Amino acid sequence: MTQRRRQPLVLLEKERLAEINEELRISGFSNAKWLELGLSLGLSLQTLKTIETDYGRAGASRCLMECLEKWLSRADNVTGPLSWITLADGLCRIGEVSSAEMISKLSDPASGVFQRYSVRLSAVSISEEPVDLLCTERLISNETRTGVESVGGFLLGDALREIQTSITEDHNKLRALGNILLKSDEAKTIGQDILKDCDITFSDTIIDSR
């Protein structure tokens, strides 16, 4: 039997608040259940009532943001890791199973490596050859390639999400992405860093997504 090393946990920080909120939106989570989620994540009812008093008029979406910010700040001495898995568990406890399943996929170690570089990647323009290779390697679709080319080679929103999904489904595509980025002068250093993280994250492991 092949022995696998324990995979690193994908931890979350306050700087990723907007990203976490967006992932919840995409998962179909109802902002109206922000208070239930806060309780499930370990925040006190008093803290949540204060959020409701201070931000209730701004709507449930604002309350959810404040709730997540309190969780990421470990208000009320919140225990446990601040991770996608913890968030998914909290969703599951309040019956948001579908959202929990989608959020839990973000805890994938290969996805975690990609998440660390997605902001840097979105800030550079990728030349035509690497964009074509992203399509050839099935990291993005033909339709997405057209969209990337239409904005000057920048990998934004849907393109980044499509790449992340591909990497989650097939970890080998993370290394493929790194090698492709080496062919772009603007993104070469990002590619090098991704490949280094691949070596660290997946050393002594079989890189698959089963």
Per-residue confidence (pLDDT) for residue 7, from 0 to 100: 53
Reference 186, options 125, 120, 115; nearest CA is: 125
Dig out the tokens for 29 from the structure: 């989570």
pLDDT at 163 over 80: yes
Averaged pLDDT, 176-190: 96
Least confident of 61-65, 123-127, 134-138, 205-209: 205-209
Q: Which of 190, 132, 187, 122 is nearest to 157 (CA)?
A: 122
pLDDT at 1 over 80: no
- When the pLDDT of each residue in the chain is averaged and rounded to a whole number, the result is 90
Give the amino acid at 138.
Answer: R
CATH code reported for the domain at 14-105: 1.10.533
Question: Domain spans of the chain?
Answer: 14-105, 108-201
Beta bridge partners of 154: 125
Q: Does the pLDDT value for residue 208 go beyond 50? A: no
**What pLDDT does 207 receive?**
41
- The answer to which of 38-42, 99-103, 107-111, 189-193 has the lowest mean pLDDT is 107-111
Determine the pLDDT at residue 206: 41
Distance CA 89, CA 94 (A): 9
pLDDT band at 130 (very low <50, low <70, confident <90, very high): very high
Rounded mean pLDDT of 28-44?
97
Sorting pLDDT into bands at 50, 70 and 90, what band is 5?
very low
Q: Quote the percentage of the chain above a pLDDT of 70.
A: 92
